[in-house]
């Protein structure tokens, strides 16, 4: 008899509600509601439209109810962003989106005034990025200290949305581990670090492991939706942690790329790996399900492709993704390269113009056509994967049989093939819905219907057929030559 649960997955531009039905051997998915999750710009600040998202959660549950009877709900989204609550549990302001500019220059100021970069990395093991919660809070201490003084509690976004449904305040481990405020060895808050930037050590609730039942829907929500017995489960609240649960890997070491707006390139470890080499490579140690460590690097992913397309549409050129891919393939290979993680490519806006400017200032000439620009973006992402792949092998001292790509990027055949060519490794692509699957699998583990992580991955392998890519004959030497040029340009 099938058991059904409901996952809410919030991505960078959209969210969705996905029912997962488990018959004891396979998980079947049914998307019941999709909605926008774009940040809202108000007087120069990018905010989460959090009350609209709560409305969409309720609407997603109402729609799912008409399709199947589900017993629980889990919520995942990206890390680092948070909401501040007053003593009555009300939001002090809409949570600020990580693409806001308030953290510009904050890491450098932190390293000058608080502690050196090396000490921060050794304490937290987390990749230094301006968007991290640590730097968001440091910016608040400087620019809006009154707001922090008024706050009784801070909740990361998956925990905030769960709180709105249950009234229970928690800090789920996988999301908390992205803040750069966690001791990676204990999995608890580094309260001394809180004090160094001038915030209370109890601002966030105590860290808890994923896979716990938080509570049933609060009475008001349950009556509104007619769902009195539905539980809210604290899943792996960070979307990448949920996606890694769903990597269809058999026993042994593996490399994954959770490919969406961001590409999270990493491997799964049992303990943190914090060394001079990992610090030099700026690799992060973040929490995974069952106490594992996501040893990974954040790389800009489909964002560049998505935002370039949005710019072309704003200019009246309504290219489809297939058309952009076709134009890229028709353009000369290895003509131009960018560093996909250069700071100028992070904000929203005219990505093609920024690509042209990057190529001009690095002495490569200027790509003019949409095809040249898209070829540049595709090849640069694949070559950044190759660079990161080499870093992973050097830091872990391990070899890997193949690379798993999961998430939305598995639909991009060109990027998957270029990844195989650039790395010289076989690529296994799928499942597409890895994040929702991982969310659902953790709910099923919390209910005792799936035994453990190994069992969950076996079920997922049994549920979905991957697509396999091998390096193309005759291309290895061309990609190696391109890689050497790429490294010189982005150095």
**Which residues are catalytically annotated?**
239
Strands (E), 14-65: 14-22, 27-36, 40-42, 45-47
Tally of CB atoms within 10 A around 29: 17
The Cα–Cα gap between 279 and 276 comes to 5
Tally of CB atoms within 10 A around 314: 10
* Burial class of residue 303 (count of CB atoms within 10 Å of its CB; 0-12, 13-18, 19+): buried
Helix (H, G, I), strand (E, B) or coil at 295: strand
Dihedral angle sign, alpha carbons of residues 236, 242, 244, 246 = positive
Tally of CB atoms within 10 A around 116: 11
Residues 6+ apart with CB under 8 A from 196: 114, 115
Cβ–Cβ under 8 Å, residues 54 and 94:
no
Cβ–Cβ under 8 Å, residues 268 and 288:
yes
The Cα–Cα gap between 251 and 248 comes to 10
CA distances in angstroms from 249 to 5, 244, 254, 268, listed in the order given = 23, 10, 7, 11
Instruction: Pick the closest to residue 171 from 207, 197, 224, 138 (CA basis).
Output: 207
The Cα–Cα gap between 311 and 60 comes to 31
Dihedral angle sign, alpha carbons of residues 144, 150, 152, 158 = negative
Cβ–Cβ under 8 Å, residues 14 and 35:
yes
Maximum Cα–Cα distance for the chain, whole Å? Answer: 65
- 217, 219, 221, 226 alpha-carbon torsion, rounded to 10°: 90
> H-type helices in 145-198, by residue range?
145-150, 157-166, 173-176, 191-197
The Cα–Cα gap between 365 and 344 comes to 18
The Cα–Cα gap between 95 and 396 comes to 37
> H-type helices in 315-412, by residue range?
321-329, 351-361, 370-396
């Amino acid at each position: 008899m099938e058991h059904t649960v409901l996952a809410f997955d919030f991505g960078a531009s959209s969210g969705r509600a996905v029912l997962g039905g488990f018959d004891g051997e396979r998980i079947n998915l049914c998307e019941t509601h999709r909605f926008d999750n774009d940040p809202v710009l108000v007087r120069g600040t990018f905010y989460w439209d959090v009350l609209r998202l709560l409305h969409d959660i309720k609407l997603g549950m109402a729609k799912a109810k008409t399709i199947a009877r589900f017993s629980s709900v889990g919520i995942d989204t990206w890390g680092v962003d948070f909401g501040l609550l007053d003593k009555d549990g009300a939001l002090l302001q809409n949570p600020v989106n990580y693409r806001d500019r308030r953290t510009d220059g904050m890491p450098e100021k932190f390293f000058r005034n608080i502690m050196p970069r090396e000490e921060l990395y050794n304490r937290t093991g987390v990749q230094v990025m301006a968007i991290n919660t640590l730097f968001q809070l440091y910016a608040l201490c400087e620019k809006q200290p009154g707001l922090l003084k008024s706050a009784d509690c801070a909740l990361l976004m998956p925990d905030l949305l769960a709180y709105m449904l249950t009234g229970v305040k928690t800090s789920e481990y996988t999301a908390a581990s992205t803040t750069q405020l966690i001791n990676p060895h204990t999995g608890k808050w580094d309260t001394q670090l809180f004090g160094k930037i001038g915030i209370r050590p109890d601002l966030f609730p105590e860290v808890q492991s994923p896979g716990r039942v938080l509570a049933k829907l609060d009475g008001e929500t349950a009556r509104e939706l007619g769902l009195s017995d539905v539980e809210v489960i604290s899943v792996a609240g960070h979307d990448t942690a949920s996606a890694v649960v769903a990597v269809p890997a058999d026993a042994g070491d593996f490399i994954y790329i959770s490919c969406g707006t961001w590409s999270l390139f990493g491997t799964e470890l049992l303990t943190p790996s914090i060394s001079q080499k990992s610090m030099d490579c700026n690799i992060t140690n973040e929490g995974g399900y069952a106490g594992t460590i996501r040893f990974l690097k954040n790389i800009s992913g489909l964002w560049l492709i998505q935002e370039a397309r949005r710019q072309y549409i704003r200019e009246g050129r309504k290219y489809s993704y297939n058309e952009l891919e076709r134009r890229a393939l028709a353009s000369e290979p290895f003509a131009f390269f960018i560093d996909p993680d250069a700071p100028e490519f992070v904000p929203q806006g005219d990505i093609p113009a920024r690509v042209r400017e990057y190529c001009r200032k690095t002495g490569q000439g200027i790509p003019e056509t949409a095809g040249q620009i898209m070829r540049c973006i595709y090849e640069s992402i694949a070559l950044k994967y190759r660079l990161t792949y080499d870093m992973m092998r050097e830091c872990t001292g391990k070899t890997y049989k193949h690379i798993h790509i999961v998430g939305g990027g598995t639909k991009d055949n060109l990027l998957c093939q270029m990844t195989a060519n650039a790395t010289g490794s076989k690529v296994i692509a799928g499942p597409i819905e890895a994040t929702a699957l991982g969310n659902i699998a953790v709910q099923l583990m919390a209910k005792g219907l799936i035994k453990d992580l190994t069992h969950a991955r076996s079920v997922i392998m049994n549920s979905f057929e991957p697509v396999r890519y091998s390096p193309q004959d005759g291309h290895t030497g061309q990609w190696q030559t391109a890689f050497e040029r790429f490294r010189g340009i982005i150095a």
